[in-house]
Amino acid sequence: MEIKIRTGTLADCPGISLLARELIRWEHSLNREIGEPTPWAGSEAEIRKQMSDPGTRFFVAERAGAVIGYAKAVIHGGDRRGRLWRRVIDLLTRRPRANFSSSGGLIPGIFVAATERGAGIGRRLSQAAELWLREEGLSRVYVHVLQKNEPALQFWNENGYSPVTIVLDKPLN
């Protein structure tokens, strides 16, 4: 059966939620120090809420009507899409200005069902996310990957991504 890549809709929330929760469990198994997942993480309600943000778009891979993979893309930085409120909050809380201003796209989540991997679905999902971000006028896209997530690191490297920063962690026990 043919695999279709398309923009996600509210009807896809249950399928996306199942995959998002699987991704969260996988990442947590790789590094328990990142903390416990919040109860709402990956829930259908949370996916619906995220879909309502005009700066967020989900893409799904579908086979025979079932969601078998998804990618989430987010526009960040600047005042795009009504993000003026961030500046207002910064002003009210007297936050110092950042040394660098960053804007671009972020792919904070991409996941393909284990039984469907190896067929290029992840690549097609990331390309759909990149195309949307490019159409929105962005020239850069970022991903965050746990250092211990070797399959994800390999995937992103093979798809043209390279490290920009390294986040270091130290327990304060």
Q: CA quadruple 45, 48, 53, 55: dihedral positive or negative?
A: positive
Q: Name which of 167, 168, 60 is nearest 124 in CA terms.
A: 60
Residue 170 domain flag: no
Residue 58 domain flag: yes
Residue 122 domain flag: yes
The reported pLDDT for the residue numbered 89 is: 54
Domain span at residue 147?
A: 3-158
The reported pLDDT for the residue numbered 82 is: 43
Query: Domain total for the chain?
Result: 1
CATH number for the domain harbouring residue 117: 3.40.630.30
Residue 43 domain flag: yes
Residue 169 domain flag: no
Q: What contacts 140, CB < 8 A, 6 or more positions away?
A: 104, 105
The reported pLDDT for the residue numbered 81 is: 43
Q: Mean pLDDT of residues grouped by 10 in the chain (173 residues)? A: 95 96 89 79 93 95 96 78 51 58 81 94 97 92 88 93 83 80
Residue 131 domain flag: yes
Q: How far apart are CA 113 and CA 121, in angstroms?
A: 10
The reported pLDDT for the residue numbered 17 is: 95
Residue matched to tokens 């947590």: 28
Residue 168 domain flag: no
The reported pLDDT for the residue numbered 107 is: 94
The reported pLDDT for the residue numbered 80 is: 47
Residue matched to tokens 């971000």: 133
